[in-house]
Each structure stands twice: as C-alpha cells, then as structure tokens.
Amino acid sequence: MKNENILKTEQPIKVSWEKIQTEMKAKFGKDIYDSWLRKISFEEEFNNYVLLSVTTRFIRDWITSRYLDQILSIVRSYKSEISRIELSVNEEKNYNEIEKKDYKKNDSSAINVSFIKDYVSNFNRIDPNKSFENFVTGTSNRLAFEASKKVSCKTSHYNPLYIYGGVGMGKTHLLNAIGLKLKEESKVMLISAEKFMYQFVKSIKSNEMVKFKDNFRNADVFLIDDIQFMNGKEAMQEEFFHTFNALLDKGSQIIISGDRPPNKLARIQERIKSRFSGGLVIDIQPPDYELRYKIIKSKTDELKNYYSNQVNISEEIQLFLSKEIKNSIRELVGALNRIVSFSRIYNKIPNISETKIVLKDLLNYNENKVTVELIQSLVCKHFKISKNEMLSSRRSRYLVRPRQTAIYLTKLLTSKSLPEIGRDFSNRDHTTVIHSIKTIETLKKDNTDLCSSIDTLKNQILYNNQNNEI
Ligand code: ADP
Ligand code: MG
C-alpha cells in the first residue's frame, strides 16, 4: 500500500481515473461500486477541483451523502492539490442541444462551431432549475434578490452588481436566475472565475486568444461567479481588467459574486477591486429560522413534484431540519435531499433518531456529544465486559466482537477519522479500524442477532446523548 502511494505521480486526474475507479471498488466493495459508483463519469479538472457527473439527481444525492468524502480522499491521494469534488447531474445531452440552438439563434458572428460548443458546454451551464421563481426570500437575502431582479429587467443602473456572502447562501442561484431570465433576449455569459482562468490558459496554449477575447467581449450580460478564486498571474488579470472595461464601455451588464466584499479580496489588483466597488455592493446574510422553514417547505414541494408525490416528509422532520441546520442553505437543502434519499431507499419515512444518524455530520451537537467514551461504556455494558478488557490487546473472541462493534459505532456516529478512532482504541492502527468496520458490515448481512444488538446500541447511544444521562 505504502509503496503504491509513493509511486502515485501527480498526473491529471483524467489519466488516473481508471485507477481511482479500481480503488473505489476495493474500498467500498463490488456491490456498492456496481450500484452507485460505477456510473460516475469524469468530466473535467480545474485548478483545485474535479468535476464529476452522474446520470440522475437521486444518484448524485446518494453519493454525496454517503461516499463523496471518501472519494475525495482517494482522488487526493493521486493529486494532493485537489480540495473538492463537484458532482453534477448530466442531463447534458438534450440540454446542450437546446443551448447550442439558442446560441446560434443569437449569434451571427463567424466563431467556429466547435469553439462555440466548447464555450457553451464549458461555461454557460445555466441551470433551468435555479430561477427567481424558486428563490425563497427573507430578511437576509431580500435586497440581493430585489437588485438581481432589477438587473434582469434592465431597469437598474447598478453596474456592476456585486453580491457577496458565505458558502451556500444562494449567490450562484441568483446569478443563474439572472442568466436564465435574460438568455432569450441577450447574449449571456455565465462563468466561474476558476473557469475563466482555466479557459484563459487553455486559449493561450492553443493560440485562440482572439476568440477568447471576442467571446467574452461579445456578451451583453456577463456574470462571473466566485471571484475570490481568481488568482491568476498578471497577464490574466490584465485581460480580465480589459474585458471588464470593454464590457462596461459598451453598456453590458456585469454581475459578480464573491465570498467577501471587494476590498477584502486577496490576490486581486487594486484597480479591479475598485471597479467592483463602483456599482452596487450587496451582501447575503445567513438565513434566519423563518427563512429556513420557508425554504424547507418550498423544496419539499419541489421534490414531491419531481418524484410524482412519492415523497412524504413529516412536519416534525421539517421543523427539526429548519431548527437544526443553520449554517447554510446548501446544507439545509442537502439535508432534506438526504432524508428523501433515505426514505426512498428504505421505503419508510425516517423518524427523528434516524434523521440524526443520517445527518450526523451536519448536526453539530451530535458531534460534540456522542463521544467515544459514551460508545465504549455502553458497548461494554451491553456485552458485559470491562472497559480495560475492551481496550486491551487481548484477542479472545468474546472481546474482539464488542471491540469491533464499538469501533464500528464510533465510525457511524461520530465524525472521527480512521486514525483518530485507532488512537481512541489504545493506539490501534487505522488498518485495524478498517478491518473492524468491514467485519461488522459483513457480519451484519446475515447475523440478525448482531444487527439487533447494533440497533439497540445505536438507539441507546443517541438516547443517552439526547438526555445527557452520561
Ligand atoms: P452559493 O453560491 O452562495 O454558495 P448556491 O447558490 O449554490 O450558494 O446555493 C446552494 C443551494 O441552496 C442551491 O441548491 C440553491 O438552489 C439553494 N438555495 C440557496 N438560496 C436559496 C433560496 N433563497 N431559495 C431557494 N433555494 C436556495
Ligand atoms: Mg456558488
């Protein structure tokens, strides 16, 4: 294993993709691999992230909630700069066709078709599902919403419009909604700063700089997302600055999003920052309870629609999610998607304790309170062994199984990494931890006694946790 790691070179992920797939198969087992992971396609690699795709929203949500972190660690073992994976739903075929037609209709210049196709499929991925209609407003995002609407009705003189806020607050959604609204009547260019840089470099290499310039400077509406990732070299910033000025000069509307206000952007030239501040700068704040609840309601309806009414999430769960998932709207929507995936896979509506398990990594209090000590002491009590015995190095059968169960439950109910768990069990190696988890997973398949022991323990742990009894 070690040697293999050393031999891994930092090649493009595309080159290593087959190997990564083989590793996923080894890590998750053939069943999981065949049911879920085989269907992942590699799309593209950007500066520090990889874009993968699957065929349906359901598969995406399932993979995201269960396997994405581990997939990321495999990918990172091939290329350490990669810091995240984006998983998109590739309904692309028909989608691209439509986009291509739109583009042609609007564009009479002589840019060659393959170049247009490249641009359209790489950049202008305007998502038809992120519109003004399904953007829910509250105190924290109303101003940004109103300003975006004004821009999209061309009744504003806010130019550029700069929207900033934390991760998952709805910035991309708003930019997308503006693009969607205007794409019929104007030449819209929606691109993330990362993709802009990537395309810039690619155009230089392939001698297509003129086309690059023409393309961006042709836009009537230029939407640039996640500007904080713009960290290009001088030449690129230069190009960006000129594009920006050329667009403003010809009266094109520019909309920018970022995770911080313009003056706090690092690595961006002062003159660009000052251009960003020249129009309207608006922030989106974290959602309050009222907005979170409204969003849950609206997304539940959307999902019901999508799955032809076969979604049934109780009011109790909806309130629970609105109350507990506070950090971002992305997490809130992600949590709801997970619950829906759960209910579709197990064909039942999860109760609160199941919800807590499914969402364990999003619920901070769970993370804080389910401790290894709690798990160990309840498992010891259940199997009638002492804690010293559990933590000893003895390998008697009556000790091994409880130990493996405790390790398995620690992985399931806390967010500890494998080496951390190893340390909590008398400095065992992380391979022992993996072995324990795998053993329990295999045994659970046809050992109903073990299954029910584990269920009982799980409930005890969560119950104790909830009531602070230990
Ligand atoms: P950001 O770009 O700020 O990180 P996104 O726009 O990607 O956030 O939003 C994350 C998720 O939350 C998306 O699925 C988006 O559709 C959804 N979302 C964000 N804000 C709202 C809102 N006000 N109403 C409905 N959905 C929202
Ligand atoms: Mg975004």
Distance CA 59, CA 36 (A): 7
Residue 363 shares a structural domain with residue 377: no
Å from CA of 65 to ligand 1 middle: 17
What spacing in Å lies between the alpha carbon of 167 and ligand 2's midpoint? 7
**Which residue of 57, 173, 174, 190 sits with most ligand 1 atoms within 8 Å of its CB, as the best mutation to test the pocket?**
173
Could you read off the pLDDT of 42-66 as tens digits, one per residue?
988 887 788 898 887 778 877 887 8
**Crossing angle of helices 372-383/397-413, nearest 10°?**
140
The alpha-carbon radius of gyration of the chain (Å, integer) is: 25
- Within this chain, do residues 312 and 347 fall inside the same structural domain, yes or no? yes
Question: 169 CB under 6 A from ligand 1?
Answer: yes
In a domain, 119, yes or no: no
303, 330, 362: residue to mutate for ligand 1 pocket, most atoms within 8 A of CB? 330
Predicted local distance difference test score (pLDDT) of residue 365: 54
Q: Which ligand is nearest to the CA of 228?
A: 2
Instruction: With respect to residue 135, please indicate whether it lies within any of the assigned structural domains.
Output: no
404-458: pLDDT as tens digits: 999 999 998 887 888 889 999 999 999 999 999 999 999 998 888 888 899 889 8
Does 106 score more than 60 pLDDT? no
Q: Is residue 109 part of a domain?
A: no
Cα of 380 from ligand 2 centre, angstroms: 46
Residue 102 scores a pLDDT above 70 = no
For residues 164 and 181, give the distance between their C-alpha atoms in angstroms, rounded to a whole number: 21
**Closest ligand to 335 CA?**
1
Q: What is the CATH number of the domain that holds 254?
A: 3.40.50.300
Going from the Cα of 393 to the center of ligand 2, the distance in angstroms, rounded, reads: 49
Mean pLDDT for 328-333 is 92
Distance CA 371, CA 356 (A): 15
Our answer on whether the CB atom of 130 is closer than 6 Å to any ligand 1 atom is: yes
Residue 171 Cα to ligand 1 middle (Å): 7
The number of the ligand 1 atom at minimal distance from the alpha carbon of 135 is: 24
pLDDT per residue as tens digits for the range 143-164 = 999 999 999 998 777 999 999 9
Number of domains forming the structure of the chain: 4
Verify whether ligand 1 is closer than 6 Å to residue 325 (CB atom). Answer: no
Which positions ≥6 away from 302 have C-beta within 8 Å? Answer: 134
Are residues 272 and 293 both part of a single domain?
no
For the ranges 85-89, 101-105, 280-284, the lowest mean pLDDT is seen at 101-105
Residue 364 is predicted with a pLDDT of 64
Domain closes at, from 232, 249, 284: 284
pLDDT at 286 over 90: yes
Residue 10 makes CB contacts below 8 A (sequence gap 6+) with: 78, 79, 80, 81
- Cis link prior to 160 (omega < 30° from 0)? yes
Q: Are residues 154 and 229 in the same domain?
A: yes
Cα of 171 to ligand 2 centre, how many Å?
6
**172 CA to middle of ligand 2, Å?**
4
The rounded mean pLDDT for the chain is 84
- For residue 257, which atom of ligand 1 is closest to its CA? 2
Same domain, 280 and 294: no
Residue 113 lies in a domain: no
Distance (Å) from CA 349 to ligand 2 centroid: 31
In this prediction, residue 4 carries a pLDDT of 38
Instruction: Inform me whether the pLDDT recorded for 71 exceeds 70.
Output: yes
Q: Are residue 417 and residue 431 in the same domain, yes or no?
A: yes
- 368 falls in which pLDDT band (50, 70, 90)? low
pLDDT at 279 over 60: yes
With a 6 A CB cut-off, is 334 part of the ligand 1 pocket? no
Interval between CA 273 and ligand 2 midpoint (Å): 19
CA dist., res. 223 & res. 207, Å (int): 25
Domain boundary among 284, 317, 346: 284
Residue nearest to atom 9 of ligand 1 (CA): 170
Q: Which of 11-20, 115-124, 171-180, 314-323 has the lowest mean pLDDT?
A: 115-124
Quickly state the pLDDT bin for 119 (edges 50, 70, 90).
Answer: very low
Query: At residue 322, does pLDDT exceed 70?
Result: yes
**Residue 177: CB within 6 Å of ligand 1?**
no
CATH number at residue 347: 1.10.8.60
Instruction: Confirm whether 461 is domain-assigned.
Output: yes
- Whether residues 278 and 153 share a domain: the answer is yes
Q: How far is CA 414 from CA 68, 109, 361, 407, in A?
A: 17, 57, 8, 10
Residues 362 and 403 in one domain: no
CATH number of 31's domain? 3.30.300.180
Tokens of 380: 């010891």
Mean predicted confidence (pLDDT) in 334-344: 86
Tokens of 195: 């993709």
Tokens linked to 67: 């396997």
Task: Please report where in the chains the tokens 């950090």 appear, as a residue.
Answer: 327
CB of 167 within 6 A of ligand 1: the answer is: yes
Instruction: Choose which residue among 224, 333, 336 to substitute to test ligand 1 binding: the one with the highest number of ligand atoms within 8 A of its C-beta.
Output: 333
In a domain, 88, yes or no: yes
User: Mind spelling out the 3-state secondary structure of the chain?
Assistant: CHHHHHHCCCCCHHHHHHHHHHHHHHHHCHHHHHHCHHHCEEEEECCCEEEEEECCHHHHHHHHHHCHHHHHHHHHHHCCCCCEEEEEECCHHHHHHHHHHHHHHHCCCCCCHHHHHHHHHHCCCCCCCCCCCCCCCCCCCHHHHHHHHHHHCCCCCCCCEEEEECCCCCHHHHHHHHHHHHCCCCCEEEEEHHHHHHHHHHHHHCCCHHHHHHHHHCCCEEEEECHHHCCCCHHHHHHHHHHHHHHHHCCCEEEEEECCCHHHCCCCCHHHHHHHCCCEEEEECCCCHHHHHHHHHHHHHHHHHHCCCCCCCCHHHHHHHHHHCCCCHHHHHHHHHHHHHHHHHCCCCCCHHHHHHHCCCCCHHHHHHCCHHHHHHHHHHHHCCCHHHHHCCCCCHHHHHHHHHHHHHHHHHCCCCHHHHHHHCCCCCHHHHHHHHHHHHHHHHHCHHHHHHHHHHHHHHHHHHHHCCC
Is residue 100 predicted with pLDDT exceeding 50? no
346 and 391 inside one domain: no
Residue 27 has pLDDT above 80, yes or no: yes
Q: Is residue 128 part of a domain?
A: no
Q: How far is the CA of 11 from the centre of ligand 2 (A)?
A: 27
Is the minimum distance from the CB of 168 to ligand 1 under 6 angstroms?
yes
Segment 221-233 shows an average pLDDT of 88
- The arithmetic mean of pLDDT across residues 302-322, rounded, is 85
Å from CA of 331 to ligand 1 middle: 9
The ligand that comes nearest to the alpha carbon of residue 173 is 1
> From the CA of 284, how far away is ligand 1's center (Å)?
11
Residues 226 and 316 in one domain: no
Question: Is there a domain that residue 106 lies in?
Answer: no
pLDDT above 60 for 367: no
pLDDT at 107: 35
The rounded distance, in Å, linking the Cα atoms of 232 and 219 is 22
What is the rounded distance in angstroms from the CA atom of residue 190 to the CA atom of residue 221? 8
- What does the alpha-carbon distance between residue 230 and residue 194 come to, in Å, rounded to a whole number? 6
* Protein residue with its CA nearest to atom 1 in ligand 1: 168
| 166 CA closest ligand 1 atom index | 3
Read off the pLDDT of residues 372-402 as tens digits, 9 standing for 90 and up.
999 999 999 999 999 999 999 999 999 999 9
Give the Å distances, CA to CA, from 14 to 20, 23, 38, 44, 97: 10, 15, 15, 8, 25
Which protein residue's CA is at the shortest distance from atom 16 of ligand 1? 173
Out of 340, 367, 394, a domain closes at 367
pLDDT at 284 over 90: yes
Q: Are residues 314 and 411 in the same domain?
A: no
* Atom of ligand 1 at shortest range from CA of 129: 16
| pTM for the model | 0.60
Q: Which domain holds residue 271?
A: 142-284
Cβ of 336 less than 6 Å from ligand 1: no
Domain co-membership, 279 together with 339: no
